[in-house]
Chains A and B, each alone.
Chain A
Amino acid sequence: MKTEFRVYTGIGIFILVMLLVYFFWSGDGGNSILLFATVGLGLLPGAYLGWWSRRMEPRPEDREVVEPGGVADQLGAFPTHSIWPFVLGVGVFLTALAFVFGIWTAVVGLSFCFSAALWGTLSSRRGGLI
């Protein structure tokens, strides 16, 4: 977790320095806001990772030496197949096409989206795979 924390925080701090130099040199507010938001994208996840890394034992993948047989698998379960991403994808596609061809495609598309959201959620709650 510590390296992940350093990666994010490092990028955030680097862009923060860049932002300060840029803002005081150019006085350009608009682009500085973009850079400011980017600093947030670095520091917020960085802070989260740093906060946790100080409060938890190093995970197995953070340890240089792992004792044979000493690691229990905690990765969880993974689904093998599901039709709902496809339905959702088609729904989003049809909904997006409404921006070009008019609202009628969105009627069909949104119904796909809602059914995919509903059935997709239910199928995972039914203890299918996750």
Chain B
Amino acid sequence: MAVIDDTVTEHVVPHHAEEPSGFYRWLTSTDHKVIGKNYLYTSLAFFFIAGLMAVLIRTQLFSPNNHFVSPQTYNELFTIHGSMMLYLFAGPFAFGGVANYIIPLQIGAPDMAFPRLNSLSYWLFLTGGITMLLGFLTASGAAAFGWVAYAPLSEATNSPGAGPDLWIVSVALVGFSGIFTAVNLVTTIMYLRAPGLTMFRMPIFTWNMLVTGILILISFPVLTAALILLYADRHFGTHIFTVAGGGVPVLWQNLFWFFGHPEVYILALPYFGMVTEVIPVFSRKPVFGYKGLVFATLAIAGLSTGVWAHHMFTTGTVLLPFFSALSLLIAVPTGIKIYTWVATMWKGSLDFKTPLTFSIGFIVAFTMGGITGVMLAAPPIDFYTHDTYFVVAHFHQVLFGSAVLAGFAGLYYWYPKLTGRMYREGLGKLHFWLIFIGFNVTFLPQYVVGLRGMPRRIAEYAASDGFTFLNRVSTVGAYITAIGFLVFIWNMWISWRRPIPAGDNPWDGHTLEWGTSSPPPSHNFHSLPPIRSQRPVWDANHPEHADYLRPPEPSRFSSRRDEAVVDR
């Protein structure tokens, strides 16, 4: 990369004489890069543990009336699988790991706004995760009521013991960690941007993380409150979610999904953002329809707060047309995003490196999952398929598509930035094809088996049900996926042991994180390139194609008064 000498600003970085090293550094660092990496490693570890549980679950379902694990163990396995994947992997990987590392770099900030709070977030996340796993060591076993913990099944009479309490405490700890990270992200994005980096010049990933942060602040406190109520029911003799004392069990579902549906978008938006970073860089084009994407993201934020009860269509207690309409509507901004990605690739110069391959895999998976999501937004179809494998297939296509396919697109994309080294391209492709094939072989048959009436979360099915063949295919797919992740681990191992230097900007990246060294120095930037468009590093490296050369389009959102001040 060309040396950027056209410097506008220089950050006056505080002098820091001694920085600890080794274990003590890992323990005490408040550097967002160290914390971000800790988050990445930890959430990946949880991902592998939860993935292993998925393999056990699929093994149990390989044959009818299988007794590989007992029904109690089976219930514990899918509960902790779901809880870990959602609370400990998909969320923290995105907003604790990737965003934590990348956002300050993308906006030209020296660190997160509250570095010590950031560190506390990580420790709460780690201890929360350990708390969840402790459940397996208790006499009564881990929580076994599904990741949604519907009351009254999660009440003391139906789920006694320490395991469910550990689950509650764990989710509360991780919830606080998420709230702290969200506060940090929103503040950082609003107050620590580099000069000239207006809101409408922020990379889409940063935009999506801002909106994710706002959604976390809307939804996580509701979950924490609901967990406290549940704990009170279990131990303090209240009857909030039990009929016996005049409580309302369905209140739990309302509170949970008031958190739970924004949560689904909290898990999706960061990954949309990662893909939106990857595709333009590997197409050598700017992102298509930037403002449309921003408004789509904001629309998703607004709509996702009003669709929680589409998880409760079959309760018979909700206003069906209202939630159906909003749930259908949310397909529009999501569709805009998908078309935007395709349009960004259109007439580009596509370099099929691993990140782009993963992103395309994500588009394919997510489009299919999105379409079945539209089906589920129609209450009659939901009556038919609710709590069947159709839903399981739907949300795995969406969530595996986002958190794994798009998440690993992001991980491979920023791997050189994180380490200064290059991963092995061939192994990356092999990883992609194994998990992409494995993933589709796992989940496409589940749509069919769901339509044939296989409910989710059943530990056993009968040979006469006609589910056997499709479940076998599904299990084989899960094994293929698992092998794919062994390839990933091997890739990381070999790239670590025999490093290939990557240089500072191996992809010809567009945004500010590629304008510093890889890995970045303490406090990130020695100097910043001038920021005159959405792609400052591209502008600096390709001055003849720079974005600021194009005629300015009339904009409602760049305030005229702001410009006037600068002119004077």
Given contacts A30-B254, A64-B196, A64-B198, contact A85 B302 (CB under 8 A): no
Q: Which residues of chain A are near B109, meaning CB under 8 Å?
A: 75
CB pair A97–B25 under 8 Å, yes or no, is: no
| Complex-state Cα separation, A34 to B195, whole angstroms | 38
Please tell me if A38 contacts chain B, counting CB pairs below 8 Å. yes
Q: How far is the CA of A49 from the CA of B8 in the complex (A)?
A: 27
CA distance A21 to B116 in the complex (A): 42
> Which of these, A21, A63, A96, contacts B566 with CB under 8 Å?
A63
Complex Cα gap A101–B20 (Å): 35
The contact of A92 among B124, B165, B168, B198, by CB within 8 Å, is: B124
Q: How many residues of B contact A (CB 8 A)?
A: 82
The answer on a CB contact under 8 Å between A86 and B110 is no
Q: Is B562 a contact of A64 with CB atoms below 8 Å? A: yes
The contact of B563 among A22, A65, A90, by CB within 8 Å, is: A65
Contact of A34 among B115, B124, B222 (CB under 8 A): B222
B305 lies within 8 A of A18 (CB): yes
Q: Which of A14, A15, A61, A85 contacts B123 (CB 8 A)?
A: A85
Residue of B nearest to A74 (CB): B12
* Minimal beta-carbon separation of A102 from chain B (angstroms): 10
Could you tell me which residues of chain A, from 10 to 30, have a CB within 8 Å of some CB in chain B? 10-11, 14-15, 18, 21-22, 25-26, 28, 30
> For the complex, is B119 an interface residue (Cβ under 8 Å from A)?
yes
Q: Which of A14, A15, A93 contacts B127 (CB 8 A)?
A: A93
Check B319–A26 contact: CB distance below 8 A.
yes
Q: What separation, in Å, do the CA atoms of A2 and B28 have in the docked complex? A: 37
Contact A21 B302 (CB under 8 A): no
Q: Contacts A35-B305, A73-B9, A81-B30: A100 and B169 contacting too (C-beta < 8 A)?
A: yes
Give per-residue flags for B9-39: 1 if the beta carbon is below 8 A from chain A beta carbons, else 0: 1111010100110000101111100000000
- Nearest-neighbour CB distance to chain A for B126, whole angstroms, equals 8
A11 & B9 in contact (Cβ 8 Å cutoff): no
Besides A22-B319, A89-B120, 13 other CB < 8 A contacts?
A10-B298, A10-B302, A31-B254, A34-B255, A58-B561, A61-B195, A61-B197, A64-B562, A65-B566, A68-B530, A73-B11, A79-B116, A93-B127
Spell out B's residues near A (CB within 8 Å): 8-12, 14, 16, 19-20, 25, 27-31, 109-111, 115-117, 119-120, 122-124, 126-128, 130-131, 162, 165-166, 168-169, 172-173, 176, 190, 192-200, 210, 214, 217-218, 222, 231, 235, 251, 254-255, 258, 298, 301-302, 305-306, 309, 319, 322, 326, 522-523, 530-532, 557-559, 561-563, 565-566
